[in-house]
């Protein structure tokens, strides 16, 4: 027996001697990087979104292969953790130069004894040697134990590190680079993932458990608690009569199904859009306080109407002057069944929110004025999809109304008539100029439903289009980062037409016909706003602006389910009103200055369908007295072709015989008119049907004396 241990001792001395000689003579390829380089190259797995004042408003994980939070300095790591790390891993850390030769001698003896007695050998890697393995994976242990050559290289690397790094730097790097459990790397991540606290707040028991995990990152809770208990007893500083509290702590911390890093994200959808690089900190134009208020207002209002099958919403606030997006709320979070869907950029049906752009175009072209009279009476139009019969929201018709009333009270039939004046193709191009690039088809594809918003748009695009109205008809793109350069603006509407549209949208009296005088659009400061409700109540909108801000709100359901009895004024408008009040606390909003080219004119109607008023006109279109012709007695009133518009292309259905296909002609004005196709009389009356014939045709309207009142060109394709 004595001879066996003597042999063992000689072998140990020989092995250690060889290691010592190798460490002193080995040149190796390891070049110790500087501490500052390692710290600079460190990349968390997360990225951070900051508001305009530097507050973190969202965190997004980018690197899914590992979980690392930001690097923490040694001064931010609890003293208990520092003390226990040294006790557990390297008791003579402050005494050696990278290699603990006594520990190495003991480890070698333990390894050889393992051959005889089967006991688990003790390790001898110092903190510095372990750190070398973090810095160079080839020096880290593989599944099998290191070879003698690997050990030599690791010793040499540790000595190189000790030559250039301070002990504090070694400890700091170790704490940040060590793996604690699974994908969790670094004490910053481990502290939050396991205990929900910062490393500076780790107490002794939490630190004991973390040190136990260093020896076995995937240990079961009981195994980890036992190791922590053994370390606790070894330190001889605590009452070691019981380790029950450590077992409870291990069960709580290590049985978590998927570790959650607290993120406090209040702008997750914008983070998804902007954060792409791990470790990046992206500064945005958002205002954290406004963002929180927008979230709160949206959630509270949705909860108040949740019995009406409403669960989702989105909010955007834009600074009129520079296009900064100040609030970006993509969903209602936990109230939603699809909280990750971004309602700010999702396509939803626009409803009546497109009407201001339609009337703006007609006023700019001097085809209409704010005092022009349109008929809000039943109408049916023939489209390729069948008859189109627009209705108002309240299923009522108001008769003869001015453009001011028609727009402010959101009447549908007048809007369809206005579209007939402008033309579908032209209005489609007009909307694209406002940045509504989701309209990718030609106007014919959308037809007359375009007047009532039967197209899909994005909240961010629609809100920014209204910002162009606030900015005197000049459109600029938005920006999410203050470092982005503002691009030159483009004129999309004359400043005169933009002024008149803004004045109409701010007119409480003009909107009273549909909404009454008291409604959420009636703010304490000057604002202009428009609501919208899509078909079957699937989408609610309220978009509007003050002199400083433009606010857009959408309410609905991401799954497309219709709401119950919820309109734009009851669904989205209350949130819009909250935001406008918040934005103007302690400040005012002045009405726009009257631009050059606008004439103020006292106007009255005969008969008095609306009260006399002072109206704004584009110079050259002003009128003092507006006479309505009695449709019961006069058949000479001016008529206009409403459908088909100029340049319409009609495609025949090849599966239906020609004689069974019909095209509807519709006019506005004198009902006693005669229709002529290429000079041939085809019928009399304001609306007639016609069997299409292939080719290009000229359609005319004539009065009873044979005078031409209007004409358009259209083409029919596919007919024999």
Is the residue at 595 inside a domain? no
51 found inside a domain: no
Identify the pLDDT of residue 97: 87
The DSSP letter of residue 193 is: I
3-state secondary structure of 677: strand
pLDDT at 161: 93
Percent of the residues in the chain that have a pLDDT greater than 70, as a whole number: 86
Largest CA distance in the chain: 136
CA dist., res. 280 & res. 261, Å (int): 17
Q: What is the pLDDT of residue 351?
A: 92
Q: pLDDT band for position 634 (50/70/90)?
A: very low
Q: Are residues 510 and 369 in the same domain?
A: yes
Q: Mean pLDDT across the stretch 616-624?
A: 95
Measured CA distances, 564 to 247, 297, 336 (Å)? 54, 21, 17
- Specify whether 383 is located in the same domain as 525: yes
- Give dist(CA 394, CA 312) in Å, integer: 25
pLDDT one-digit tens code per residue, 442-475: 888 888 889 989 899 999 999 999 999 999 999 9
My answer on whether 359 and 440 are in the same domain is yes
DSSP codes of every residue in 157-191:
HHHHHHHHS-HHHHHHHHHHH-EEETTEESHHHHI
The model's pLDDT over 172-196, given as tens digits with 9 standing for 90+, comes to: 999 999 999 989 999 999 999 999 8
pLDDT of residue 210: 96
Asked if 329 and 446 sit in the same domain, the reply is: yes
Q: What pLDDT does residue 445 have?
A: 84
Q: How confident is the model at residue 640 (pLDDT cuts 50, 70, 90)?
A: confident
The larger pLDDT score, comparing residue 244 to residue 22, is at 244
Shared-domain flag, residues 92 and 225: yes
Specify the residue for token string 């509807």: 664
Whether residues 572 and 647 share a domain: the answer is no
268, containing H or E segment: helix 268-274
Please state whether beta strands 46-50 and 56-61 pair in parallel, antiparallel, or not at all (unpaired). Answer: antiparallel
Query: What local confidence, expressed as pLDDT, does residue 443 receive?
Result: 81
* pLDDT at residue 346, as a whole number: 97
Q: Is 124 or 43 the better-scoring residue by pLDDT?
A: 43
Tokens matching residue 417: 């008539």
How far is residue 720's CA from residue 718's CA, in Å, rounded to a whole number?
A: 7
Tokens of 565: 């009895």
Lowest mean pLDDT among 60-64, 339-343, 388-392, 441-445: 388-392
Q: Hey, what's the torsion of the CAs at 147, 152, 153, 155, to 10 degrees? A: 120
Q: How confident is the model at residue 26 (pLDDT cuts 50, 70, 90)?
A: very low
Q: pLDDT averaged over the chain? A: 86
| CB-CB contact of 123 with 93 (8 Å) | no
Q: What is the pLDDT of residue 536?
A: 80
Angle at CA 169, nearest 5°, toward 131 and 219?
40
Q: Confirm if 393 and 567 have CB atoms less than 8 A apart.
A: yes
pLDDT score, position 119: 47
According to the model, what pLDDT value does residue 116 have? 45
Has residue 13 got a pLDDT over 60?
no
In angstroms, rounded to a whole number, what is the distance separating the alpha carbons of residues 182 and 656? 67
- The answer for residues whose C-beta is within 8 angstroms of residue 55's C-beta and 6 or more apart is 288
pLDDT exceeds 50 at position 113: no
Indicate whether 576 and 676 sit together in one domain. no
Tell me what pLDDT residue 117 has: 47
Average pLDDT (368-378) is 91
Q: Are residues 550 and 477 in the same domain?
A: yes
Whether the Cβ atoms of residue 669 and residue 640 lie closer than 8 Å to each other? yes
Report the DSSP beta bridge partners of residue 319: 549
Whole-number Å distance between alpha carbons of 270 and 56: 13
Helix (H, G, I), strand (E, B) or coil at 36: helix
The verdict on residue 36 lying in a domain is no
Q: What is the pLDDT of residues 574-596, one digit of tens each?
A: 999 999 999 999 889 999 999 99
Q: How confident is the model at residue 16 (pLDDT cuts 50, 70, 90)?
A: low
Question: Is residue 385 in some structural domain?
Answer: yes
Is 613 inside any structural domain?
Answer: no
| Rg of the chain taking only CA atoms, in angstroms | 38
Predicted pLDDT at 717: 82
Please compute the mean of the pLDDT values over residues 402-409 and round it to a whole number. 96
Spatial contact of 674 and 649, defined as CB atoms under 8 Å apart: no
Residue 586's region, left for phi above 0, alpha for psi from -120 to 50, else beta, is left
Number of Cβ within 10 Å of residue 42's Cβ equals: 15
- 583 vs 588: CA distance, rounded Å: 10
Q: Please, what's the b/e burial string for 81-112 (b: 16 or more CB within 10 A of its CB; e: otherwise)?
A: bbebbbebbbeebeebebbbbebbbbbbbbbb
Other residues' Cβ atoms within 10 Å of the Cβ of residue 514? 20
- Whether 420 and 518 share a structural domain: yes
Which of the two residues, 8 and 155, has the higher pLDDT score? 155
CATH code of residue 20: 1.10.3810.10
For 695-704, give one letter per residue: b (16+ CB within 10 A) or e: eebebbbbbe
- Beta-bridged to residue 315, according to DSSP, are 329, 553
Domain boundary among 204, 232, 254: 254
359: confidence class by pLDDT, cuts 50, 70, 90: very high
271 with 58: CB under 8 angstroms? yes
d(CA 538, CA 559): 9
568/657 same-domain check:
no
Read off φ and ψ for residue 420, nearest 5 degrees: -65, -30
CA distances from 272 to 298, 326, 480, 663 (A): 21, 17, 13, 49
Residue of 178, 36, 161 lying closest to 98 (CA atoms): 161
pLDDT of residue 662: 81
**What is the DSSP track for 236-247?**
T-S--S--HHHH
- Looking at 254, 269, 297, which one is the last position of a domain? 254
* Residue-wise pLDDT tens digits, 652-701: 777 777 777 888 888 877 777 888 998 889 888 888 888 888 888 889 88
- Residue-wise burial string across 3-32, b where 16 or more C-beta atoms lie within 10 A, e elsewhere: eeeeebeeebeebbeebeebbeebeeebeb
Pick the closest to residue 674 from 646, 644, 699, 693 (CA basis).
Answer: 699
* Any domain includes 136: yes
Mean pLDDT in residue range 33-39: 94
pLDDT digits (tens, 9 = 90+) for 57-101: 999 999 999 999 999 999 999 999 999 999 999 898 999 888 877
**Predicted local distance difference test score (pLDDT) of residue 105:** 64
Task: Sort residue 208 into left (φ over 0), alpha (ψ -120 to 50) or beta.
Answer: alpha
Structural domain ending residue among the three candidates 566, 581, 596: 581
Residue 614 to residue 593: CA distance in whole angstroms? 16
pLDDT of residue 544: 98
Residue 37: band (very low, low, confident or very high) from pLDDT cuts 50, 70, 90: very high
Domain count, the chain: 3
Torsion sign, CA atoms 143, 147, 153, 154: positive
Residue 296 lies in a domain: no
In a domain, 539, yes or no: yes
Residue 703: give its domain's CATH number. Answer: 2.60.40.10
Q: What pLDDT score does 261 carry?
A: 67
Q: What phi and psi, each to the nearest 5 degrees, are found at residue 374?
A: -120, 150
End-to-end CA distance of the chain: 114
pLDDT at 237 over 70: no
Let me know whether 475 and 573 are in one domain: yes
CA distance 654 to 632: 43
Kindly report the CATH number assigned to the domain that includes residue 507.
Answer: 3.40.710.10
pLDDT at 142: 58
Q: Are the C-beta atoms of residues 58 and 187 closer than 8 Å to each other? A: no
Phi, psi of 379 (to 5 degrees): -150, 145
Nearest to 623 by CA among 460, 407, 403, 448: 403
Residue 635 has pLDDT above 70, yes or no: no
- Tell me, yes or no, whether 656 and 571 share the same domain: no
Q: Is the pTM of this model over 0.85?
A: no
Between 4-8, 199-203, 442-446, 524-528, the lowest mean confidence (pLDDT) is in 4-8
Taking only the tens place, the pLDDT of each residue in 470-492 is 999 999 999 999 889 888 899 99
Comparing CA positions, the residue from 617, 611, 629, 715 lying closest to residue 668 is 629
Please name which of 344, 557, 577, 290 lies closest in space to residue 463, comparing C-alpha atoms.
Answer: 344
Q: Is the pLDDT of residue 123 over 90?
A: no
CA 395 from chain centre, in angstroms, equals 36
Q: What is the pLDDT of residue 632?
A: 46
pLDDT > 90? residue 565: no
Does residue 718 register a pLDDT over 90? no
Could you list the residue range(s) of the whole structural domain that residue 197 is in?
Answer: 2-30+68-254
């Amino acid at each position: 027996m004595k001879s066996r241990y003597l042999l063992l001792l000689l072998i140990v001395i020989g092995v250690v001697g060889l290691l010592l000689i190798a460490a002193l003579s080995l040149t190796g390829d390891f070049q110790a990087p500087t501490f500052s380089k390692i710290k600079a190259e460190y990349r968390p797995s997360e990225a951070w979104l900051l508001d305009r004042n530097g507050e973190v408003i969202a965190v997004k994980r980018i690197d899914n292969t590992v979980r690392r939070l930001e690097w923490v300095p040694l001064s931010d790591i609890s003293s208990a953790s520092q003390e226990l790390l040294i006790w557990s891993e390297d008791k003579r850390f402050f005494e050696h130069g990278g290699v603990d030769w006594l520990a190495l001698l003991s480890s070698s003896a333990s390894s050889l004894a393992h051959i005889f007695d089967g006991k688990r050998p003790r390790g001898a890697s110092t903190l510095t040697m372990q750190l070398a393995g973090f810095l160079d994976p080839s020096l880290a242990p593989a599944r099998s134990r290191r070879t003698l050559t690997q050990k030599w290289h690791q010793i040499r690397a540790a000595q190189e590190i000790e030559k250039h790094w301070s002990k504090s730097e070694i400890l700091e790097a170790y704490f940040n680079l060590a793996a604690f459990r699974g994908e969790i790397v670094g004490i910053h991540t481990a502290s939050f993932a396991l205990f929900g606290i910062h490393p500076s707040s780790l107490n002794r028991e939490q630190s004991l458990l973390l040190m136990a995990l260093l020896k076995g990152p995937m240990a079961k809770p009981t195994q980890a608690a036992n190791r922590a208990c053994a370390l606790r007893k070894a330190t001889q500083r605590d009452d070691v009569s019981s380790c029950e509290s450590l077992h409870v702590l291990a069960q709580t911390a290590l049985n978590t199904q998927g570790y959650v890093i607290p993120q406090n994200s209040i702008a997750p959808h914008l983070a998804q859009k902007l954060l792409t690089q791990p470790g990046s900190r992206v500064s945005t134009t958002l205002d954290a306080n406004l963002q929180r208020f927008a979230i709160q207002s949206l959630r509270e209002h949705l909860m108040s109407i949740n019995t009406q099958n409403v669960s989702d919403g989105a909010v955007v606030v834009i600074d009129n002057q520079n296009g900064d997006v100040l609030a970006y709320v993509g969903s209602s979070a936990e109230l939603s069944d699809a909280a990750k869907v971004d309602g700010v950029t999702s396509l939803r049906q626009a409803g009546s929110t497109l009407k201001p752009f339609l009337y703006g175009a007609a006023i700019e072209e001097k085809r209409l004025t704010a005092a022009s009279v349109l008929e809000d009476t039943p109408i049916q139009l023939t489209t390729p999809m069948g008859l189109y019969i627009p209705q108002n929201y309240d299923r009522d018709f108001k008769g003869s109304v001015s453009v001011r009333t028609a727009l402010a009270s959101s009447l549908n039939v007048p809007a369809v008539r206005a579209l007939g004046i402008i033309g579908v193709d032209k209005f489609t191009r007009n909307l694209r100029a406002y940045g509504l690039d989701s309209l990718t088809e030609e106007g014919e594809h959308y037809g007359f439903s375009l007047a009532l918003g039967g197209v899909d748009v994005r909240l961010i695009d629609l809100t920014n289009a209204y910002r162009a109205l606030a900015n005197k008809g000049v459109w600029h793109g938005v920006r999410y980062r203050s470092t982005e350069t503002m691009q030159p603006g483009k004129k999309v509407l004359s400043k005169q037409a933009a002024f008149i549209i803004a004045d109409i949208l701010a007119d409480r009296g003009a909107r009273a016909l549909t909404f009454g005088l008291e409604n959420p659009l009636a703010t304490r400061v000057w604002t202009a706003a428009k609501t919208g409700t899509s078909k079957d109540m699937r989408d609610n909108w309220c978009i509007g602006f003050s002199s400083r801000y433009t606010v857009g709100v959408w309410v609905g359901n991401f799954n497309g389910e219709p709401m119950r009895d919820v309109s734009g004024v009851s669904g989205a408008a209350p949130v819009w009103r909250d935001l406008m009040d918040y934005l103007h606390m302690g400040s005012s909003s002045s009405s726009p200055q009257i631009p050059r080219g606008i004439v103020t004119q006292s106007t009255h109607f005969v008969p008095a369908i609306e009260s006399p008023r002072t109206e704004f006109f584009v110079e050259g279109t002003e009128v003092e007295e507006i006479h309505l012709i009695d449709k019961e007695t006069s058949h000479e009133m001016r008529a206009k072709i409403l459908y088909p518009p100029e340049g319409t292309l009609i495609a025949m259905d090849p599966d239906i015989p020609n004689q069974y296909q019909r095209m509807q002609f519709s006019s506005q004005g004198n009902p006693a008119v005669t229709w002529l196709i290429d000079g041939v009389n085809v019928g009399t009356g304001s609306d007639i049907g016609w069997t299409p014939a292939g080719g290009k045709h000229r359609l005319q309207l004539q009065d009873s004396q044979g005078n031409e009142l209007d004409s358009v060109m259209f083409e029919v394709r596919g007919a024999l």
